[in-house]
Each structure stands twice: as structure tokens, then as C-alpha cells.
Structure 1
Amino acid sequence: MSQQEIVMDVRDVPQKSKWLMLSLQHLFAMFGSTVLVPFLTGLSPAVALISSGSGTLAYLLITKGRIPAYLGSSFAFITPIISAINDSGVPGAMIGSFFAGLVYGILALLIGSFGLDWLMKVLPPVVVGPVIIVIGLGLAPTAIDMAMNVDGNYSGKHFLVAIVTLAITIIGSLFFRGFFGLIPILIGIVCGYLFALTQGIVDTSTISDTWSSIVGADSIGTFFGAIFVAPGFTIPFVDYNPLDVFSWSVFWIMVPVATVTIAEHIGDQMVLSKVASKNFLKKPGLHRSILGDGVATMIASFLGGPPNTTYGENIGVLAITRVFSVFVIGGAAVLAILFGFIGIISDLISSIPQAVMGGVSILLFGIIASSGLRMLIDNQVDLGKNRNLIVASVILVIGIGGAMVQFNIAGVDFKVEGMALAAITGVVLNLILPNKEDAYGNGKMFEADENNEEA
């Protein structure tokens, strides 16, 4: 794409009359997915929005305002967060999230010092692709349970709501064009919610109470107090002592997942570079973007939100609008933070029935699994080669089967399970099996476009 096609370049400041609408587009594009992750994990959607906005602002600062990327809640961490919360509560999950973000920082230093080739040897497509498939298929039971069960019992009414929500989301994904084609998830949730209202399965009492407080406010102070509400942050050294909740089990549940999300991050940077006709991997550099992603995840861990990652939905907005201004992205981040403090929005999100989210999740989790398969296909990984077939097969069965390794060292319990164990096993197998060159396919997974230089 030529530079002449760009409507607004990376450092251009939009006109005030257009700034709000351009930023709202990005907010809507990320909204459905960002609130879905905390909804599934039991975290606060309001905190997730604030974490998303704060993380994006930090990312823009670290990348020197040169990469127009928006960061939202990471789907890869859904299962690890649930496991970590079951093990050590929300504080323990946040400690694990912090260390996962720290991995990004360490990796950024290594890439800045030694380049990218060594990372390709550790994370070839034959490892990353199957692990991504595990992420999607591992979440499949959660989606189905949310879609058709209420307190463990089958409900035809709830399943109907889920199917209608799924159908609308699919129709939106296939047939909507322009901006609406970028937000089929949000449209599916909204339409599913409206249908759920007709089925009588939506509890709107909290929304009504909040709205009554706003309408019945007898002073400006009371009015703003009813609108703006501090969400339920989980802050270290305020709500808990990190040393008291740290668990090696949670560490091994959360940290290995960073290897997969880092690979996804690199892929997003390559796509974004092509869309914007610049080479962001070279300037400001992949080490900066990875560091920004890691810092965003650590910020989320300080607030009680899910880990962050760059969002493909927002890259889609950039591709269609050709508006690459980081000021537009920053505006969306500020709006996300503001939305997180508006109580009635939090009440509205909390009132969404599980059946609606389950319907959307059926498609989303399937897409995650399919994207792992696509990585293998795009990189032309030959599964006719025995070593590739072995690596992929072992990763899939260990990850989806829920295998676990538990051991005790010096009185300290360690536990590695599911996706984390699958990722570690895949990396080790790939490093020790012969014919390593077969694992790379066509070798283009992390290959930057040399002709895609920044002007």
C-alpha cells in the first residue's frame, strides 16, 4: 500500500471534530472481547477496561508514539487465570500475571541484544500453532456450559438465547461491511442481550437501582457520585501482601503461556507493519513493542485486571479507515478508562446473561483454535514429517487432556498443568528431536518484510 493512501499518519493529530468518533470506533472494536475475558474468569469488567486503557497508554509511551496498537484482555490467559484463582485466589492470579509480564521485559532485553533468530529456534510454527489450538479447544467446554446450563442443569431457554446470539454474530461476521464488519462480537452481544430480555432471563434490578440514583440525585455531588463509581481494584500492598499469596504452582500455570502470547504479538506487529506500510519491527523495534506489551500486563496485575495483548480487531479498524494516528488510539484508551469508572456501564455488563456470552464464545474459541491451524498452513508445516507430527500430537493431547505434573522440592509444591505443560513439552521436544529445520515450514513466521521500511 502506498503512502498516498494513508488518511492520517502515525504522528498526525486529528481534528477535534473527528477525534471522538475515530476513537470511539476503536473502543467499540475492542469492547466485546475485552469484557468477555473478565466475565469468564470472574474478574471485574470495569477493571479490565481501565487496565486496557492504562496499558495502551503505557504501550504508546514505551514505543515512542510510533506504533498505533490497542491492547485489550488476552484470551490465551483465560484458563490459566481460572486455574490460578482456584489455587490462590485473585491476588495469586495477579502475581502470576505480573511474572508473565516480566517475561516480556526479559525477552525484550534479549531481542535488543541478540536479535530475533534465537527465538525462532525456541518457538517455531510447529510448536506455537498446536498450543494456540489447545487454547481454543481447551475453552470449548466452558463455552458450551455457559451456553446451555444454569447451575449445572440444562436449560432449553438459555441454549436458545445462546444459539440466537451465535447466529447473529456469524451473520455479522460474514455479511456486515465497513465499521459494522469490525464489531460483529459487540453486535452479537447487544442483539443477544435484547433477545434475552424477551425471554425473561436478564436481571436488570441493579441497573434500575443505579438509574434511580442518578435520576433522583438532589445535588451535583450526588449526581456525579451516582454516575462515577470506583471499581473493585485488587491492589498489592493495599488489598494483599504479594509475599503471602505467592505460589510456585500459579507461577508455572501463568508464566509459560507468555511464550505463546509473545508469538502472537510478533505476528500482530508483522500484520500492522504491512497495513501501515512501515516496518515497526525495526523502528521503533520489536524489543520496544514487546516491552510495552509486558508493561501493560504488569499494570493490569497491579489493578486486578487480566493480562493485555495487542488486538487484531483494532488492526482491522486501521486497515479500513487508513487512520493510523496514535492520538486516535490514545483517545480510545482514555475513553476505556472513563467507561471503567461509570457505574451504570459496569452494571449493564454484569447483567449480561451467561447464555449470551456462551453463544459468542462458541465462535470466538473456535476461531482461536482455527487460527492455530492456520499458522501451520500459512507456514506450510509438513505434518507428513514424523518429527512434526510427534510434536504437534503430544502438545494437543497433553494440553486438551489436562495433563499435570506435580512435584515437591525442598518442601515447596510445584504444579504445571494443561496449556502451560503443553507449551513447555512442545518447546523441549522441538529442541531435542532431530531434523529441526522441518519445524519451521517455509520459515516466514517471524520474518520481517525487508522491503517494508519506514519512510
Structure 2
Amino acid sequence: MAKTNAVLDVHERPAWSKWLVLSLQHLFAMFGATILVPILTGLSPSIALIASGLGTLSYLIVTRGQIPAYIGSSFAFIFPLIAAMSFGGPAAVMLGTFTAGVVYGLTAVLLKLFGVGWLMRLLPPIVVGPVIMVIGLGLASTAIDMAMNFNEDLGEYVDSARHFSVALATLAITIITSIFFKGFLSVIPILIGLIGGYIIAFMAGIVDFSPVVAAPWFHIPDFAIPFVTVSPMWSMTVIIIMAPIALVTMAEHIGDQMVLSKVVGRNFLRRPGLHRSLLGDGVASVMAALVGGPPNTTYGENIGVLAITRVYSVFVIGGAAVLAILFGFSGKIEALIASIPDAVMGGVSILLFGIIASAGLRLMIENELDMGDKRNLVIAATILVIGIGGAFIEITEFLEIPAMALATIIGMILHAVLPNKPVAYGNGQLFASLDDEKTTTEVE
């Protein structure tokens, strides 16, 4: 793969005068999305920032400093994290995040030993696409409840007109930034939407800024550390909730690696190898579990920054990781994040959750799946209705298979048993850049 005209290549170190600014760009690109996941799931944004920084540094080590990728909170796990949090609190989240990391790690080992063919057979585009749509659409009601200020204690919407107006204004700012802004600003529409929405919410009188004023500049977050601050738990329900989603996010990971390879001009799927990049994701999620953060994954927002700036240096990525860790220890920043009204988060979430669903549709279109084929239609329809409809199987009082996991499992089973499997892959673009033999043997 031919190299592009890089301003700074992968292993080049920037001048000290530029290093901070370049790293800050990546921090801003991931900031909005990374803190949104813990806000929506009841986790600590500060810990999520620290987990993303630690995860990114560990990812760079695992991939031998060859892949300039930033690691942050995964949106695919929002619904499972909410379920885990309601089921067993921080201990359940810790188990779920650790489970996701282990699934990544085990898959990396299998990829190293047996190549990618088995993964392609297990998760074709006709399964992955609808499951990603379920992830986004399953959260639609959460976004609307936040935007319209649903009060759980009263069981009704309170002052919904004012809050929804703020949400729509936030949504409008985010859309305008994404569509009409150019350069780096177009890469951070979430952050700009949050800032703009916060200002409007403050003017509308729904922001309490006093905790920010009272908060210290430095504080130590309430880490959920196993055997220290949290007693680990074992729950098959939590494991069943998280494991199938980890499999699905691997397809997204492969797509990110393909795009990143094209941007940088190196085939990262072959060197250092897909197995090593997946292992990096797994280690990052295990690191997050050990401090009480959400599962991590590579960020498309930061790939966009790489494409715009043509600065591919892993030193810049590492600098952003260090800054994220430092931000996580700021009491002012945590209080400021906590003061963001639900209406603002809801406005941003309307777009974000819709984009997640659209990404599943895009995957199906890019792979040119024939949706006129009955086999594809049956699999997609079943996954969508079971997942969005909220079906679940209660095995015991303490063990159930929730909707998202159930939809994924049934989709994989249908693909395995129905005839005419080739139509499930379309043009095969999802795995077009992968070569089993080269991917598993060509490693430095």
C-alpha cells in the first residue's frame, strides 16, 4: 500500500512547540463522545477519560507503536452498560467491561492461529448491519426522554417544551457544524454541539453552575477497583449481555482499521496484524474494567483528524492519551460535565444514536447486499424486531438473555442454518482487505 504525503509519519516526533496543540486536537475530537457514554450509563466521566488515556497507551504498546489510533468509550455498549448498571451497579459494569476485553483477546488469539475466515462465517454483513441498527434504534427512547426531561419519580415529562427546545437547538448546532463547517471544526461537531447547547441551556435557566465554582481543580475520582473499592461479582446475565456485542464491535473495528490503513498508507491489517490491533482493544477494555470505566474501542473521530492534518505520529496520539488522564483528575472538569443538562445530552444523542443506526444501514449498502433475497430479508427483519422490540429470554431468576444479545445470537443461528450463504456477504467488502495467510503470519 503506497504511503501518503505525511506531515509527520507514524514514528516521527513533533517539535515541542507543536506537540501540545496537535495532541489537543485529538483530545477534543474524542472528548464529546467519550464522556457521553458514561453520562448516559451512570458512570464517571472522569474515570472514562482516564480509562481512555490508559487504554490508548496500552494499545500503542500492544501494537508496537505501529498504529496511530486513539481508544475511547464504545457507543455499542451503551444499552448493555445501562442494563448491567441496573442489574448490579459498578460491580456488574466491571464484569461486563472485563468480559468484552476477554472476548477481544480470545478472538485475537483465534485470528492469529486460524486466520479471519471463521469470523467472516460467523458475522457476515447481513448479521452485523441489522445488529448495529438495533444498537442505535434501541436507544432512541433514551434520547427522547432526556431531550424532553422525563422525570422517573413522577413518571411524566416536566417542563418538556423548554427542555425540548434546548435539545432541538443543540441538535441544530451539531448538524450545522457537521455539514457546513470545514477543516478540523467539522471533525468535532459533538463537542461544539455540547458547548453551544450548554450556553443556550444556561440562558434558558436550566443549568446549575454553582457546583462547578465550588469544585476543586484537582481531585481523585471514585475509582471502582476490584477487591479495593468494589467486590467483584459473577453473573452469567451480564456476560451474556456483553459478549455478543463485543463480537459485533469487531466488525466495526475491522472497518476502522481498513479506513486507517487507507489514510496512513500502510496495511495495518497485515502489519502489525488484525490480531494485534484487536488484542490492543481487548487490553484497553481490561484496563478500563480495572478502574471502573466502560469498554473501549478505536475512534473514527480521531481517524478523521489524521486524514485532515496528515499528522500520523503515534507520539501525538500518546500525548492526547496523557492529556486525557490529566483531565480526568480535574474536579472542575468533572463538575462542568455533570452540570450539562439532560436536554443538551438528549439533543446530541438524537443525532448520535441515529448515526449508529445509519452506520448499520451503510454497511449493508456498501457491501451491496441483495435485500430482495428472501434469506437476507428474513435475517434482517428478525434481528430488527427482536432487538428493537425488547424481547428477552428469562432462563432463571438471575439469568436472562436481553434483547440485543438475543437478536445477535438468533441472527447468527439463522445465518448458520439457512441455505444459500453467499448472498449474506454481498460484494465481500467487509473482509476484502484481509488475507488469511498474510494476516496471520506476517508479523515483525
> Shorter-chain TM-score: which interval?
over 0.9
1:449 to 1:85, Cα distance in 2 relative to 1, 3 A: closer
Q: CA deviation at 1:4?
A: 5.5
What is residue 29 of structure 1 aligned with on the other side? 29
Give the 4+ runs in structure 1 shifted more than 6 A.
449-454
Contact preservation (8 Å) 1:23, 1:332? yes
Contact preservation (8 Å) 1:279, 1:449? no
Aligned pairs for 1:10-409 within 5 A: 10-151=10-151, 152-154=156-158, 155-210=160-215, 226-242=216-232, 245-408=233-396
> Which ranges in structure 1 are unaligned for 5 or more consecutive residues?
211-225
AA at the equivalent of 2:112: G
What is residue 422 of structure 1 aligned with on the other side? 407
Q: CA deviation at 1:249?
A: 1.0
State how far apart, in whole Å, the 1-side matches of 2:299 and 2:359 are: 14
Q: CA deviation at 1:90?
A: 1.5
Q: Structure 1 residue 447 and structure 2 residue 422: aligned?
A: no
AA at the equivalent of 1:353: P
Contact preservation (8 Å) 2:269, 2:434? no
State how far apart, in whole Å, the 2-side matches of 1:4 and 1:260 are: 31
What is residue 218 of structure 1 aligned with on the other side? none
1:67 to 1:149, Cα distance in 2 relative to 1, 3 A: same
State the TM-score, normalizing by the size of structure 1.
0.93
Q: CA deviation at 1:413?
A: 4.0
Q: CA deviation at 1:2?
A: 5.4
Q: Deviations over 1:238-272 (max 9, x none)?
A: 12222xx2111111111111011111111100110
Q: Deviations over 1:202-241 (max 9, x none)?
A: 011111212xxxxxxxxxxxxxxx3210011111001222
Q: CA deviation at 1:150?
A: 4.0
AA at the equivalent of 2:218: F
Contact preservation (8 Å) 2:150, 2:157? yes
Q: Deviations over 1:410-455 (max 9, x none)?
A: xx8421111111111111110111101110000110221789999x
Contact preservation (8 Å) 2:46, 2:221? yes
AA at the equivalent of 2:189: P
Range moving further from structure 2, 246-255 or 38-47: 246-255
Contact preservation (8 Å) 1:97, 1:255? no
State the TM-score, normalizing by the size of structure 2.
0.95
Q: CA deviation at 1:88?
A: 1.2
AA at the equivalent of 2:128: V
State how far apart, in whole Å, the 1-side matches of 2:185 and 2:239 are: 40
State how far apart, in whole Å, the 2-side matches of 1:387 and 1:357 are: 39
AA at the equivalent of 1:288: R
Contact preservation (8 Å) 2:4, 2:265? no
State how far apart, in whole Å, the 2-side matches of 1:103 and 1:134 are: 21
State how far apart, in whole Å, the 1-side matches of 2:254 and 2:157 are: 42
State how far apart, in whole Å, the 1-side matches of 2:150 and 2:140 are: 17
**Partner-residue secondary structure (3-state), 1:445:** helix
Q: Deviations over 1:358-395 (max 9, x none)?
A: 00000000000001000000000111111111110100
The root-mean-square deviation of aligned C-alpha atoms, in Å, is: 1.6
Contact preservation (8 Å) 2:2, 2:266? no
State how far apart, in whole Å, the 1-side matches of 2:40 and 2:172 are: 21
**Partner-residue secondary structure (3-state), 1:415:** strand
AA at the equivalent of 2:410: T
> Which ranges in structure 2 are unaligned for 5 or more consecutive residues?
none
Q: CA deviation at 1:133?
A: 0.3
Seq. identity, % = 62
Range moving further from structure 2, 153-162 or 354-363: 153-162
